[in-house]
Amino acid sequence: MSPFLKFLLRRLLTIPITLVVITAALYGMLMFSPPEERAEIYIPDRLPSNFTEEDMQRLTERIIREHGLDDPFPVQYLRWVSGLLRGQWGYSPVLNGDILGMLAERLPATAELAIYTSLFFIPLGLASGVIAAWKQNRAADNGFRLLAFVGTSIPPFILGLLLMAIFYVALHWFPPQRLGVLQGSFVRSSSFHTYTGLLTIDGLLNGRPEISLEALRHLVLPVLTLSLSHWGTLGRLTRASVIQELEKPYITAARARGVAGRAVVWRHAFRNAMVPALNSTALSAASLVTAVFVVEQVFGFHGVSELITAAIGSTADIPLAVGFAVFSVLLVLPLMVALDIVQAIVDPRIREGLAEG
């Protein structure tokens, strides 16, 4: 078996193992509550006016018995996981709906925001970091370092409000939410067919490019808000890595052979600096998921963050909070593994070293 195939298999195996560990920890946190408290989730909101304390106690005991809330932890955990695998993620009493269905309904908005942010900040961060290293201590480098410092210093929700005040309130260029009133009403009508859930793509598939353009216009501010801090982190690390590579002997030898400065930077230094840059990208991708939920609230995107907002402060909606946590893990883990695989493709030393270890 080739080293790359061994590396790929090991990385893929980490997904179910990590899921078991994290979901067991999540469910274990619920087990700290006594069965009587967890039984409150299943008690109806409206009870008969003549319902006594003895009736409540009998109802609680029946719920505990029917749902196995006093069974050993492994039994309850396996029952819960088997329900997740069958698509039974529970019911939200606060939002009055099936948790998995509500997550799936709101996922496209969150995914569209995360995808366009990644497509924007990753190439921009890599390119600007390389250019800053190439123009070290000159105007381009100084300007980059200043912008990167500002971008990484301002929290996303403050930056989002600031950008909205400038580009929406003052200039009326880029409005919040996913679409305007007219376009939104058409998208919700029977004339509009949903194929991917991504408005920028579904608009084209419906033969309505103006919908796609309007969706892109609404994405500008949230994508910019999410991208700035991640761009700054990735760009600064890329800059530092390229500068370190430019000081190595093989770069001096390439220059001695008459290789042009641009080729030295992009073909040699940048290629070897990609490994730490991709490490930063993996970390940024993980934190991006959390930041997306914050920015959704700032710009009124009706994404997955609506669910966790509804669950906060409600002890009756523990299933929604746990379902949201599991969903977030399922979102991040494959992304991290995919970036690890890309990193191994770029640097064969990684996959060969891990395959032998």
- Helix (H), strand (E) counts: the chain: 16, 2
* Average pLDDT value for residue range 262-291: 76
Q: Is the pLDDT higher at 347 or at 257?
A: 257
* Average pLDDT value for residue range 59-84: 87
Identify the CA nearest to 324 among candidates 90, 163, 151, 123: 90
Percent of the chain whose pLDDT exceeds 90 = 17
Q: Is the pLDDT higher at 114 or at 309?
A: 114
| The residue type at 267 | R
* Average pLDDT value for residue range 48-63: 83
Identify the CA nearest to 262 among candidates 89, 133, 111: 133
Alpha carbon distance 142, 286 (integer Å): 29
Q: List, in sequence order, every residue forming a beta bridge with 97; answer none if it has no partner.
A: 92
pLDDT of residue 355: 43
* Average pLDDT value for residue range 108-129: 89
pTM of the model: 0.80
Identify the CA nearest to 93 among candidates 135, 46, 129: 46
Alpha carbon distance 355, 22 (integer Å): 25
HSE-up of residue 270 (Cα within 13 Å, Cβ side):
19
Q: Is the pLDDT higher at 345 or at 313?
A: 345
Measured in whole angstroms, the distance separating CA 119 from the mean position of its chain's CA atoms is 13
Least confident of 265-269, 286-290, 349-353: 349-353
pLDDT of residue 213: 94
pLDDT band, residue 267 (cuts 50/70/90): confident
Alpha carbon distance 193, 186 (integer Å): 10
Model confidence pLDDT, tens digit, residues 192-201: 998 998 999 9
Domains of the chain: 3-98 (no CATH), 100-356 (1.10.3720.10)
pLDDT of residue 45: 66
Alpha carbon distance 206, 75 (integer Å): 48
Statement: residue 357 has pLDDT above 50: no
pLDDT of residue 184: 86
* Average pLDDT value for residue range 211-235: 91
Statement: residue 297 has pLDDT above 50: yes
Tokens in use for 263? 């080729």
pLDDT band, residue 251 (cuts 50/70/90): confident
Strands 91-92 and 97-98: antiparallel
* Average pLDDT value for residue range 56-80: 86
Place of tokens 């991504």: 198
> Could you report how far apart the first and last alpha carbons of the chain are, in Å?
15
Model confidence pLDDT, tens digit, residues 323-355: 888 888 888 887 777 777 777 776 666 555 544
pLDDT of residue 209: 93
* Average pLDDT value for residue range 253-270: 80
CA-CA-CA-CA torsion sign (345, 348, 351, 354): negative
| 3-state secondary structure (DSSP) of residue 194 | coil
Tokens in use for 329? 């893990």
Model confidence pLDDT, tens digit, residues 132-149: 988 888 999 999 999 999
Model confidence pLDDT, tens digit, residues 87-96: 888 777 777 7
